[in-house]
């Protein structure tokens, strides 16, 4: 196996991301000539041209464009590993890495993080992701644990239930449905509805429940982020159908309306690998999560 040229890789990624040898040199604290030489050496070693150079423009070749994501991933992984080693060496504590659903990260995690001792870990990393991505992060050890939907048990994971919460409709206070407090799902027929994307766990949960009751609704707006759904509903373009926790995040002119027949709930739990013990700081964070989120479920 050939010796890996990390310096050349840094030069290539720097030039690609900055679009300039001068700017890449400033980021790497080198001269533009040194950056050019490192990149040239990498190209000579690989036997390909990654960057097309002219007096004015820097353009990635087809090969360079295809190689860039892999080069970025290699450098990111290496930098992360070095950071972890330094953290354990200098601070005697590891990072705490949490993969979490966006609604949980926005509404519930802040009060948990506030309770976590400042000197218990080097860093606390929170990544808000979809349910599928959370499972992947936990499985490949990029997260100490995840907070996500739970369903069937997994052979390689420990799943600890936290709470269940219903799905609600967020409507403007001046909408006729706002005064009802609770409606059936059929009460949404004919309304223009807003939902987090079709591939989200919440949307799949809703679709499965409604299909079994032969209820067809008009999902006009599919968005990727909770804030977008809430903003659209506040503007009066439709009714947002979201987990109940989202209703705790909104202010007038929106109000949450309960949905029944069928009652659709999502179960939330803490997910971690069954073959890897948590580090002391991650274990402490898990204890706080279990205590606070199980307590939070009592009011739902």
- 81 to each of 85, 86, 117, 142, how far by Cα in Å? 6, 9, 24, 11
pLDDT beyond 60 at 151: yes
How much is the average pLDDT of 45-52?
92
Contact 83, 226 (CB under 8 A): no
d(CA 184, CA 258): 8
Q: Which two tokens stand for residue 192?
A: 């223009």
How much is the average pLDDT of 105-133?
88
The pTM of this model reads 0.66
Q: Which two tokens stand for residue 229?
A: 């759904």
What pLDDT sits at residue 268? Answer: 93
pLDDT digits (tens, 9 = 90+) for 184-238: 999 999 999 998 876 677 888 888 888 888 888 989 999 988 888 889 999 999 9
CATH 1.10.10.10 residue ranges in the chain? 6-91
What pLDDT sits at residue 204? Answer: 83
Indicate the pLDDT class of residue 84, thresholds 50, 70 and 90: low
pLDDT beyond 50 at 300: no
What pLDDT sits at residue 299? Answer: 40
Specify whether domain 6-91 bears CATH 1.10.540.10: no
Q: Which residues, in sequence order, are bridge partners of residue 193?
A: 219, 239
Nearest 5°: phi and psi at 229? -60, -45
Contact 217, 292 (CB under 8 A): no
CATH class of the region 165-265? alpha beta
pLDDT digits (tens, 9 = 90+) for 237-269: 999 999 888 777 777 789 999 999 999 998 999
Indicate the pLDDT class of residue 58, thresholds 50, 70 and 90: confident
pLDDT beyond 50 at 88: yes
The mean pLDDT value of the chain amounts to: 87
CATH 3.40.190.10 residue ranges in the chain? 96-162+267-297
The third-level CATH classification (topology) of the domain covering 96-162+267-297 is D-Maltodextrin-Binding Protein; domain 2 (3.40.190)
CATH 3.40.190.290 residue ranges in the chain? 165-265
Per the model's pLDDT, the better-predicted residue between 118 and 200 turns out to be 118
What pLDDT sits at residue 55? Answer: 64
What pLDDT sits at residue 281? Answer: 92
């Amino acid at each position: 196996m050939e010796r890996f040229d990390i310096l050349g890789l840094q030069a290539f990624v720097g030039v690609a991301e900055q679009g300039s040898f001068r700017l890449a040199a400033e980021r790497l604290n080198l001269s533009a000539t040194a950056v050019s030489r490192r990149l040239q050496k990498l190209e000579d070693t690989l036997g390909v041209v990654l960057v097309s150079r002219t007096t004015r423009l820097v353009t990635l070749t087809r090969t360079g464009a295809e190689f860039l994501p892999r080069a970025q991933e290699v450098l990111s992984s290496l930098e992360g590993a070095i950071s972890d080693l330094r953290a354990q060496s200098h601070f005697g504590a590891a990072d705490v890495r949490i993969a979490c659903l966006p609604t949980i990260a926005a509404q519930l995690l802040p009060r948990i993080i506030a309770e976590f001792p400042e000197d218990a870990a080097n860093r606390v990393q929170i990544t808000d992701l979809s349910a599928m991505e959370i499972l992947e992060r936990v499985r490949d050890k990029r997260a100490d644990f995840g907070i996500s939907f739970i369903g069937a048990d997994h052979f390689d994971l420990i799943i600890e239930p936290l709470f269940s919460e219903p799905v609600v409709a967020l409507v403007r206070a001046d909408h006729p449905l706002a005064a009802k407090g609770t409606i059936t799902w059929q009460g949404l027929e004919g309304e223009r509805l807003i939902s987090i994307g079709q591939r989200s766990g919440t949307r799949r949960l809703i679709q499965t429940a409604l299909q079994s009751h032969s209820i067809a609704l008009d999902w006009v707006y599919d968005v990727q982020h909770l804030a977008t759904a809430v903003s659209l509903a506040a503007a009066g373009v439709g009714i947002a159908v979201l987990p109940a926790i989202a209703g705790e995040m909104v202010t007038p002119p929106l109000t949450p309306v309960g949905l029944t027949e069928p009652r659709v709930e999502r179960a939330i739990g803490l997910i971690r690998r069954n073959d890897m013990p948590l580090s002391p700081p991650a274990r402490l964070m898990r204890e706080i999560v279990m205590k606070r989120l199980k307590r939070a479920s009592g009011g739902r």
